[in-house]
Amino acid sequence: MEDESERKRKMTIDFLVAPLVGGLIGYITNGIAIKMLFRPLKPLYIGGKPVPFTQGLIPKERDRIAKSVGAVVGTELIAPETLKETLLSQEMYTHLERALEEWFISAKQSNKTVRMCLNELSSERNIEEVAIKLKDMTTQKAYGALMNLELEKVMAERAAVGLKANLGFLAHFMNESVMEGLQIKIEEMILEMLNTEAEQMIHQVVDSEGEKCLDYPICELASQIESHVPKIKYSLMKQYTHIIESQLSRWLETLDISKIVEDKIKSLDLLDLEKMLLDLMRKELRAIVWLGAVLGMIMGLVMNFI
């Protein structure tokens, strides 16, 4: 009777041992397999040749993985059509309009100047450099437009006519030839003045008005344009749509998102890359380890019946 009881006890133990051992083996082997995805970081060399399976799969294939991830991100996740759909969605328009309205409300209550707001977006030196360039460009445009008007001819003609009208009886001595000579002389004088002084005069005006604009209070500017806010909003939304539809593809092509992602992954330290991937997939990798234990236990149970 005792032998029968002992035999049953041993059978019970044997029946339990197989699944437990199988589960332990599955747990350990899956854990080692996951660890071998990352380790060793560098291969072992014998006689100048790398020994197979002595470097982790991810360190070994990092360049290929980086290229594949970059391609997926650049062509699928951040594809032009995908981004356009997001950037031109109704939610985005609503968000932009709300942001514009909030900015306008805060601008009406602001005690800052245009210059102070610009300095918050960039350094004072950069703002000053941009302001100088804009003033120079405005001066050149205005001066060019002024010279294209050929004001010297119009002014000389009117000056000659006005001079003759005010000469009284002396005007009878001003024949056509004298008038033409006088007009040419006046024209030359005006042209010389425009060539030597006009650009500087325009620059002084532009510089003075530019400084006034930079020091203009934001609250007063907001009050003056308040009635035009709906038109401004419509114009900005229209321009935003045009830019996204016409320029987004070119911007993405210039940025080359795929190459940026690929280079970033390649530049990561292997330990940092390992930590990043483990943080991203910790839950899933742990599930794989326990799945190995479960499958090992099942195989152990099956072996009891073979």
| 2 within a domain of the structure (yes/no) | no
Residues 6+ positions from 79 with CB-CB distance below 8 Å: none
| 226 within a domain of the structure (yes/no) | no
**Angle (nearest 5°) at CA 76 between 74 and 78:** 55
pTM for this prediction: 0.53
| 228 within a domain of the structure (yes/no) | no
Same structural domain, 124 and 203: yes
Q: What is the mean pLDDT of residues 113-128?
A: 80
| 221 within a domain of the structure (yes/no) | no
Q: What is the mean pLDDT of residues 41-61?
A: 78
Confidence at residue 180, expressed as pLDDT on a 0 to 100 scale: 67
Task: Check: CB of residue 26 under 8 Å from CB of residue 300.
Answer: no
> How many CB atoms sit inside 10 A of residue 4's CB?
8
Which of 160, 187, 216 terminates a domain? The answer is: 216
Same structural domain, 104 and 20: yes
| 246 within a domain of the structure (yes/no) | no
Task: Check: CB of residue 219 under 8 Å from CB of residue 107.
Answer: yes
Task: Check: CB of residue 258 under 8 Å from CB of residue 73.
Answer: yes
Cα 69 from Cα 257, distance rounded (Å): 11
Confidence at residue 169, expressed as pLDDT on a 0 to 100 scale: 45
pLDDT band of 175, cuts 50, 70, 90: low
Structural domain tally of the chain?
2
Residues 6+ positions from 104 with CB-CB distance below 8 Å: 222, 226, 229
Confidence at residue 174, expressed as pLDDT on a 0 to 100 scale: 54
| 203 within a domain of the structure (yes/no) | yes
What does the pLDDT look like over 260-306, one tens digit per residue?
888 888 888 888 877 888 888 888 888 888 888 888 888 877 776 76
| 21 within a domain of the structure (yes/no) | yes
Which of 216, 238, 270 terminates a domain? The answer is: 216
Which of 196, 216, 236 terminates a domain? The answer is: 216
Same structural domain, 116 and 209: yes
| Domain span holding position 73 | 9-109+255-306
What does the pLDDT look like over 126-173, one tens digit per residue?
878 888 888 888 888 888 887 786 766 777 676 666 655 555 444 454
Same structural domain, 16 and 102: yes
| 280 within a domain of the structure (yes/no) | yes
Same structural domain, 121 and 198: yes
What does the pLDDT look like over 62-106, one tens digit per residue?
888 888 888 888 888 787 888 888 888 999 999 988 888 888 888
